[in-house]
A and B are shown apart, each in its own frame.
Chain A
């Protein structure tokens, strides 16, 4: 006390640590305000013990007034610095007294200062050791508990190695699907927007972490057929799909004739029928199914919109989930959206598909919308950087090539999806009808053989068939080729002589044409055969005006004479049957009569007598004719 040392006191630069958690995070105390810290430091001033009694006395006085504890006594008093002031006053008094005492003691006349014997401080080493031991044991137990916990979690992870890590799964998901993080959730997008779709409905799904449930114990009950990836035991990842995209959807295309199905096609993107939609389905299949639903919805939406807008002679009908368009008179194209959610899947199972399931229409619908998508994103090159995007390449070139207004008007015409699919359906029916007519004729007519070759290369709206009419065994002598172009609503037949016949969609017209050509073929073949036999063709007619009237077309005929000219064969071909007659030139039944007396008139030729072809030998008509001509030639 006799000497003083300068002590500088300053606050530490960082706040005091209140607590250190196990993971090492330090929790700081909030910094004190200026007045708080001043009050704190004032409180810390160590006044001598002697004054404490007085302070206590004062505080106890204050306690009796207000029921606060001694620590915040100074706060509750009238003036916050009251206690400090008291202490300082007491200190001042003491200092004054001390100074007086010292001044008196200095004189050494009235007062003498004697040193006082101090008691040695008692140290107890064992107590210290025990205290340290206890503290160390406490620290050790904290560390041991921590290491135990870490070991446990390590073992847990090792045991559940079969379930895939959430982050690995997420990585796989990200490789195939678009994901983004919105605050704390992961949102994915399965719409076709990035590939050019302009459909408004969003296809967002949410990715969450699957909780550890009893799923681990249940092994996969049935492996999915044709799944792209091997079935995982469990997935650490769960995708939640909006309710309108759940379930299974497909587009059904039906060609109906008087309520009778002509063809049916089911469109499913997965191809393998309705996939099971149990909740434990793998996310990949779940997302693919949802995407399929979205695609089908967009396709149907587009078709329905066009069906309402199009001005067809027979208006298209849109009722509920079904579009009905008239393809050809009496034949309707029905496009329906079938969407079954998982709950009522069992009842709504589609009936087993018909035998004439058509994959072409199924594929076309699919392809048409993809094409639209493709066009939306792929603009034709080159296009100027300043030019507008969107117009076709043809329109882009219209300016520099100086297209006139008619060409420009033509360019604005585009075909809608519905128009295209209707055209394809029309062509499909035309092709089927043509096939049917050709097959039935080939079955009905045995004598000239009818073979048809369908071109393997064709477009969705045009195909071509080549027909050969020939006689078995006489292919080299004569064959009649025909080419039929099957269009959308009409047929075009190019005949042997280059004539072009245009026919409507009625199958009867084609049937008549083929029969007409069969007759002509028979007559031409007989003439060709006659030439090889040395007979002479006297004349022929493809459309004979005489004889009985045929139900369709005209009969064709020809007249042949033997090499020596003494025999004449007349052939008449008509769809119902073929007539052959023979005449002898020196007529054998010539008897002079009163009008024709002279013998020379017998060379004019006699009466034609019918040959009963059905009684003749020979495989077919030409064979019989060959035998007939041979026999007539040899007898002369």
Chain B
């Protein structure tokens, strides 16, 4: 368990697979070793009108924590997060009368997982109903659990293979909890932020 930074990456006039290829070449040149695949998926459920004020539940799975189901309840003003075990999926199926999901809202990011020293790098292609929507690069620094203590190191590492596209500031979600201990749910929050952004982009374009 360590600190994870998630950032979007895109290259002009290159398709998704081409960008991934460029990035994996760069990371392999740094000496990273490929260690299998990863998958983060997100399904969104909305409450039926009978329940009154509309609420949204995002259910996410991360292959890094295979026994856990993350869920984020968004009631417009506040996001409540919950980490549960696998039975939560079955519970959501039972609640299909109150929370319904639209199949085309399912977002997932999947790709290859690399390890390089203390860092773990994941290059994910974000797809919404099998349409590629963008590239997400996840970098985890495993020995540290406080973001403020390793942010500079991670920024430098990101610049090492993302170049100028690397983020200069910590992700918005992490900015006011840089001194706190990092938990896996924080990664999920970052994923959700990016997924929502990429979904909106879909509607714009």
Contacts and interface: CB of A to CB of B under 8 A. Distances in A.
A403 B66 CA distance: 8
A395 B86 CA distance: 12
A408 to B, nearest CB: 6
A399 B64 contact: no
A254 B167 CA distance: 66
A395 B84 CA distance: 12
Contact of B85 (A399, A404, A405): A399
Contact of A400 (B63, B66, B85): B85
27 contacts: A384-B87, A386-B87, A387-B85, A387-B87, A398-B67, A398-B68, A399-B67, A399-B69, A399-B84, A400-B68, A400-B83, A400-B84, A402-B65, A402-B70, A402-B83, A402-B183, A402-B184, A403-B67, A404-B1, A404-B64, A404-B65, A404-B184, A405-B63, A405-B64, A405-B65, A405-B66, A408-B66
A401 interface: yes
Interface of A: 384, 386-387, 395-396, 398-405, 408
B185 interface: yes
B185 A402 contact: yes
Interface string B189-205: 00000000000000000
Contacts of A396: 85
A395 B83 CA distance: 14
Contacts of B70: 402
Which 5 pairs of residues, A with B, have the shortest CB-CB distance? A399-B85, A402-B184, A402-B65, A402-B68, A398-B67
Contacts of B65: 402-405
A402 B71 CA distance: 12
Among A398, A401, A404, the most chain B Cβ lie within 10 Å of the Cβ of A404
Given A400-B84, A402-B65, 13 more contacts: A387-B85, A396-B85, A398-B68, A399-B69, A399-B83, A399-B84, A400-B83, A402-B83, A402-B184, A404-B64, A404-B65, A405-B64, A405-B66
Give the contact-size bracket for chain B. Answer: 10 to 19
B85 to A, nearest CB: 2
A408 B84 CA distance: 15
A400 B1 CA distance: 15
Interface in B6-54: none
A396 B85 CA distance: 8
A410 to B, nearest CB: 13
A400 B67 CA distance: 9
A380 to B, nearest CB: 14
Contact of B68 (A384, A386, A387, A399): A399
A399 B184 contact: no
Contacts of A399: 67-69, 83-86
Contacts of A401: 83
Contacts of B84: 399-400
Interface string B56-75: 00000001111111100000
A405 B142 CA distance: 14
